[in-house]
Every structure is written in structure tokens, then in C-alpha cells.
Amino acid sequence: MQQEQQKNNLREIFRRKLVQDAFARTMGLLGATTLGVGALMGAGIYVLIGLAAGKAGPGAWISYLICGVLSLLSVAMFGDLSRRVPLSGGGYAYAYKALGSFYAFMTGWLLALGSIMACAMYAMGLAFYLTSVFPAGFPEYGMTVIAVGAVAGLTVLNTLGAGGNKVQFVFTWGNLLILGVFIIAGLFKADTANISPMLPNGWSGVGEAVSLIYVSFFGYQLIANNAEEIVEPTKTVPRAMFLAMMVSLCFYVIIAIVSVLVVPWKELAESRAPLAVVAKAGMGQAGWIFIAAGGVLASAAALNSTIISQARQIFAMGRDRFLPSPLGRIHQTSSTPRASLLACGLATALAILPGELSFIVKAANFCFLVSLLPLSFALIRLHKTARESDPIGILKRIVPYAALAANVLLLLTLDKSSMIFGLQLAGIGSLLYFFYSRKREIRSRSGMSLILSEAPPPALKFSNRILMPVANPRIQDAQFTLAQSFISKAGRTEVVGLSVVAASSQDFHTTMSSSEDSAGLLERSALSAEEHAIPFRPVVRVSRNINMGIVHAAVEESCGLIVMGFPRKQTPDTVAFVQSVLNRARADVVLLKTHGNFAPKKIAVSLTSHLNLPLMVKMAGGLADKFGGEITFLNIMPENYTRKQMNYSSKVLAAAISLHKGRALFRVEMECSDTPMDVLVERSGYFDLLIIGAVKGANKAGLLKRTLVGYFASQIAARSKCCVAIARVEHPMKKLLFRFSDE
């Protein structure tokens, strides 16, 4: 009954976890446009109009017009990309599809940083306008608390489900209603004297203003981040982008004109809440409160919209393994990317703390602009590979080149400090890619894992988890027995049972769907683990290559030791398989070949080098203690050994004796021979288990020369008359650096 329950449980988990995470397509054109308008119509006008006026004077509206027209080129580019790549993640997804992993990661990294800093700006704008109604002023730390509180509140709201989208509708269109009233009231107080001279700082001032306000025009791309939640994304996403941009551009230009007509530009530049000053001049004290409410709504709309959309991009990067895997999961209850939402909220809160608005804006602009540059090349490449049934007109072909030129021009308007800071952020991203994300993404492209366990992995140290491939049911009991010899020494340990399935197609999920029998293989392993009282974690992995599936699973499951069966038949392919695992696994490895029942009492340890010795002695001691056995340390020297060779062998023997911590008795045997393989094969008839080390090249005793890792050991295993355990300890330096390499 217990076995049947375990069987049904694992198969049920397999079927349930096989269902891929997916968003529900519930957002139509109005919802997508609302998301974009909310992101566009935020602090860009309520806060940045003052900074823009300080640079361009009354000509601030020209800066908005120029910025908007140039941004329309990027909108056209994004629209074409969204039709060709209808996936969540926006620019990151487009770059991944067309340009590969490095450009995708850097695009996503800069977009994420830009959005986080934009969120910080929106939250600060919300705090400015909310506190502007207090006549006695408000302390700086108080505004910081309000900004962080707004981020926390909206983040939590969005993690709960669809509530964030409903609130977004109220925030966005309520804000536009207030701005409409603001425009009408302001026109009655317009004074043309306030706009003379139009460009007190010349066209250079307009350019400086453009460098500040560009972040206001980037919200359209957030719509693309939500493509997997939008109905008919290939049509809806580009339309929503264009509508959102046109609505926002019209409001931006008109509000900028009204503002400089009502209030002198220098007065606007000195205020943290410039539209509140304009509203007070147009409608009195009530106008101040009225527009302050609009500023709060606008900033909240932009903040909420950016949090929603940016979390989807972080989710896409987590799903592709560039970022930690939990960020790429959809919460089953709320159907939201909860982990990525929380990560975005936390990062935004940290960005708020410095409180320097102007620098935050410029840094966000740099990140946004640089992230757009690869997308022009992505669209050019997609055009070149387009199907003949999808003809591309001359105007569409011009768009990516025009957008590239426009974005480079906008990038050149940034000051030196912003450029340097932005390049530092890009440098950090490059290091993160090469030292963390690259190898994870490579593993995700080479295979897919399904963990058949409801419980999260325990917080174990790396060296305390054992990976056990379970391809051969006949030796599973022996594998668990061997694992116990390490558990008794290492303390709390978990065994990760692995079933590797060869990928039959490019689609790992399709192969996994037809691999339910792997769950049956793991069911028997789970029962064996229960009999041996060993914590067990079953994993099925689909991989293009079986041996690399084992290597990659060891890394993904943080296993410091691999215990696996040795192939029963010796062929060139099986020998190559063994050598591949021994050479490429960034963990210690034990290969076991059994002869009948595995209950060794007479155990021999072949002494070769220091590196493998701790694992070999630990294994021998654990098994000898379990079965009441005896250990023999075999020391084989060349017939004409030198003093140097004798000294080295003596040190290895002394090390083995000092490493033996068990209760079992031991003895030492020494032989001289120039054919150590023949000696070990002959002596194997006197033992139940022969433990040998897998070494590379010649050891200091001169016994093995020019042999590949595993070759000598493979020959011993093939010819031995008893059970053989081949141990290979990964060099400590490689263990330290394996995270920075491509396995």
C-alpha cells in the first residue's frame, strides 16, 4: 500500500509540475493603453517640467516636442518587434530572439535598472506632491518614508492578483481628467510676457532639457513587457504603444505651454512641485490642492504601471535562467510573478534612499537609451530573416536605422557624470553575465529539470548533498549503501535522485511530457531511500547529452558529490562517458561497479595521490564500520623506485592513516611492480571492494603516465574480480571557480 501511494504521489507531482507557467490573456486594447499612458503621464510632467524649464526656459515645450517626435521612431521599432516576437520581456525578449544571450542580458539589465530608477523617481514625485499641501513644509526623511511606503504598498497589492490593474485604471484616467481641468483653467491666466525670450539659454538649453525628460517618454515599452497577458498581442501591443504615446505627447506639449504662459520659467525651475505652482496661480489655493491630487495620482499610476511591467521583464529573465530561477515563476494562487514583483519593489526602495532626483533621472535615461541601441540591430536581423510571405516595405526597413540615429543623438545630450555612472552599471552587468548568468543560461539551453518534490530544497551546504543517477535499478541499493558511508561522516545529508532522459527534439518540454516512466524509476529509489533512512529529492532532467545532464544537474542541485553506477559493458562509448563525467563534473565523483550483493567486509584502498585520498578513506571507513570489515592500504611502488618516490609514497600512506577516523582495523601492504594495473587486478580476488582513485597524468610516484582521467580506473573496473569504487576528488580551486566557468 505504501509503495502504491508513493507511486501515485510521484506521478501526480510529475503531471502537475509538467504544466508550464503561463499568464492569463485578459488585457485588451484599453487595458494595454491604460498601462502605457499611466507609465508615460507620471512624474515626467509633474516633476520634470520644473527641471526642464530651468534648462530650456519657456522653450521647455520644444524639448518635449522634440523628445516625443524622436521617441515615435522607437515606438515604431518596438511595434514591429512586438509583432515578430509576441513574448513577455519587451526589449530583452526581442534581443534574445535575434541577437543571442549576451546582448539580451545587457539589454534586460539596463532596462531593469532604468525602470527601477524610474520607479524611484515616480515614488519621489508622489511624495513631493502629497507633502506640497503642508504649508509648514515637510522633512526630507518624511518624504523618503512616504516614497518607500508607496512602493511597498503597490508592490504588495500587485502580488495579490489583478487588483493592481484595476487601480491602474483609476489612477491613469483620473489623472488625465485633472490635467484636462488644469489646462482649461490655466489658459484663462496665460500671459505671453512670460515666454519672452523663448530660449534664454539657446538651443543648448533645449538639448540639456531633452536629456532630463527623455525618461518621461519611455513608458510605452512597458506595454511590450506584458505581451503574454494581452489579447492578440501582435495587433494589440503596437496599437496600444502608438495610442499611449500620442495621448501623452499631446498632453505633455500642451501642459508645458500652459505652464510657461502662467508662471515665469525661473519660478517653475525653483519648485519641486512646479504644476502645483501653476495651479495655484490659475485657480488659487484650491488649485494647489487640486493639482497636488493629480500629481499623486499620476505618480502612483506611473509607479504602479512600471512595477507591474518591470516585474514581467525580470520574470522573463528568470525564466531563461539569466537571473535566479524563483524570479521566473508564476505564483499559482495569484497568477502573478510574485518573486520578481518583490525583487523590483526592494530594488526601487533602495534606489530611493539617496534622494538625488536629477541624478536618478539622468542615470535612468542612460540605461534606457543604451538598451535601445541593440534593438535596432535586432530588428534589422529579423528583417533579413523574415519569411517571403511577410514582405517588408522600405519605410519599415528605414525605421531601425532612424531609431538608432535618434537614440544616439539623445544619448549624446547626457552629461559626463551620467555617462560614467551608466558605463559603470553596464560594466557590473557584464561581470554578472560572464560570472553568473552565462553558465546558467547555457544549462537551460542544454536541458530542463523537473523536481518531483513539493518541499523546497533544504538549506544545506554545498558539500553535503549527494547526486545519485538512477539509470540502473539493480545497483540502487548499493548506491544508497555507499551514500550512507558518507552520511555517517558528513552529518545531515540529502540524496538527489536523478533520472536523465535524452532529448528527442529541440523542445525539452515535449520530451519531458513523454517521460513519465522516469517517475516510476524514481519511485523505487524513493522507497530505497526510505529503507536507508536517507532524505531523498527526486529529479527528472531532459538533456541533449546524458553525461552533461548529470554534470549540469549536480551544479543546479548544489551537489558536492556524485555517486553513480559504472557501465556494466566496456565499450568505447561507455569509457568515453565515464571520462566525460570525471573530467567535467565540478563535484567529487564515485563510480561503483558491483559483483552481486554489496556488503563489503574486506576493503582495499589503492594509494596513489593526496588529492583523492580523503574521499577514498572516508568511503572505506564508513563501509567498514557498517559491515564490521577491515581496511587494507595498498601501496604499489616501481621496482627500481627512487628515494623521492619512496618519500612521496610514505607521505601518502601517513596521510591515509591520519585520515582514517573509523573504528575498523587497518593494515598496510606494499608491493613493487612496473605494471600496477596487473597487480591490482590480481589482488582484487582477495577483497570484496577495491577503492581506486581516478588521476590525470603521472603522479609523483611515477605509477601512471600520460593517461586520461578515468582511463586507468576504467581498465581496473573492467578486469577486477571484486566490486570497484572509483573516486575522483575535484581540485579545491576548481570547486571555487566552477561558478565562473562553462561546464
Residues 620 and 711 in one domain: yes
Distance of alpha carbon 666 from alpha carbon 624, whole angstroms = 10
* Residues 540, 585 within the same domain: no
Tell me the per-residue pLDDT of 229-267, one tens digit each, with 9 for 90 and over. Answer: 888 888 999 999 999 999 999 999 999 999 889 888 888
Decide if pLDDT at 743 tops 50.
Answer: no
Same domain, 548 and 591: no
**Do both 504 and 402 map to the same domain?**
no
Q: Is residue 10 part of a domain?
A: no
* Predicted local confidence at residue 462, as pLDDT: 46
Last residue of a domain, one of 565, 587, 619: 565
CA distance 645 to 470: 40
Mean per-residue pLDDT for 52-62?
Answer: 89
Confidence of residue 440 (pLDDT cuts 50, 70, 90): confident
| Half-sphere exposure at residue 134, Cβ-oriented, CA atoms within 13 angstroms | 11
How high is the pLDDT of residue 163? 60
Instruction: Collect all residues with Cβ–Cβ distance below 8 Å to 353 and sequence separation of at least 6.
Output: 144, 148
Residues 178-230 have pLDDT tens digits of 888 888 888 888 888 888 888 888 888 888 888 778 777 877 888 888 888 88
- Shared-domain flag, residues 625 and 511: no
Q: Taking the alpha carbons of 657, 663, 669, 674 in that order, is the dihedral positive or negative?
A: negative
361 located within any domain: yes
Asked if the model's pLDDT at residue 4 lies above 60, the reply is no
Taking the C-alpha atoms of residue 672 and residue 635, their distance in angstroms, rounded to an integer, is: 9
Write the pLDDT tens digit of every residue in 491-535: 557 899 999 988 866 678 778 888 888 888 888 888 888 888 888
647: CATH: 3.40.50.12370
Let me know whether 176 and 59 are in one domain.
yes
Does 238 reside within a domain?
yes
C-alpha–C-alpha distance, residues 490 and 249, integer Å: 65
* Residue 281 shares a structural domain with residue 384: yes
Residue 469, pLDDT score: 92
Determine contact, residues 652/609, Cβ cutoff 8 Å: yes
Q: For residue 634, what are the β-bridge partners? A: 606, 669
- For residue 237, which of 77, 35, 83, 38 has the smallest C-alpha distance? 83
In a domain, 305, yes or no: yes
**Average pLDDT across the chain, whole number:** 82
Residue 17 in any domain: the answer is: no
* pLDDT for residue 603 is more than 90: yes
Give the residue from 514, 536, 565 where a domain finishes: 565
Stretch among 266-280, 646-660, 678-692 having the lowest mean pLDDT: 266-280
371 and 454 housed in the same domain: no
636 lies in which domain range? 566-743
**612 shares its domain with 543:** no
The pLDDT value recorded for residue 605 is 94
- Give the sign of the dihedral formed by CA 644, CA 648, CA 654, CA 657: negative
Per-residue pLDDT at 706? 35
| Same domain, residue pair 232 and 182 | yes
Decide if 8 is inside a domain: no
How many C-alpha atoms does 404 have within 13 Å on its Cβ side? 13
Calpha distance 422→122 (Å, rounded): 20
* CATH number assigned to the domain comprising residue 420: 3.40.50.620
- Is the pLDDT at 44 greater than 80? The verdict is no
Q: How far is CA 281 from CA 258, 263, 275, 294, in A?
A: 11, 7, 10, 16
Q: What is the DSSP string of 469-508?
A: E-S-GGGHHHHHHHHHHHHHHHSS-EEEEEEEEE--SS-H
Alpha carbon distance 547, 707 (integer Å) = 20
Domain end position, chosen among 391, 411, 431: 411
Does residue 578 contact residue 727 with C-beta atoms inside 8 Å? Answer: no
Inside any domain, residue 640: yes
Q: What is the pLDDT of residue 740?
A: 43
Helices (H), 132-162: 140-159
pLDDT at 735 over 70: no
Residue with the larger pLDDT of the pair 575 and 264? 264
Q: What is the pLDDT of residue 460?
A: 46
Q: Is residue 1 part of a domain?
A: no
pLDDT attached to residue 212: 77
What is the pairing mode between strands 588-593 and 723-728? Answer: antiparallel
By C-alpha distance, which of 46, 51, 62, 43 is closest to 269?
A: 51
Closest CA to 562 of 469, 430, 694, 493: 469
State how far the Cα of 578 lies from the Cα of 731, in Å rounded to an integer: 18
Statement to judge: residues 106 and 253 lie in one domain: yes
Number of domains observed in the structure of the chain: 3
Question: Buried (b) or exposed (e) across 473-489, using 16+ Cβ within 10 A?
Answer: eebbbbbbbbbbbbbbb
More confident position, 80 or 575: 80
The label of the residue with cell 507511486 reads: 7
Question: Is there a single domain that holds both residue 578 and residue 530?
Answer: no
| Cα–Cα distance measured from residue 623 to residue 582, given in angstroms and rounded to the nearest whole number | 23
- Report the CATH number at residue 206: 1.20.1740.10
Residue 632 phi/psi, 5° resolution? -120, 125
- Evaluate if residue 727 carries a pLDDT over 60: yes
% of the chain at pLDDT higher than 90: 15
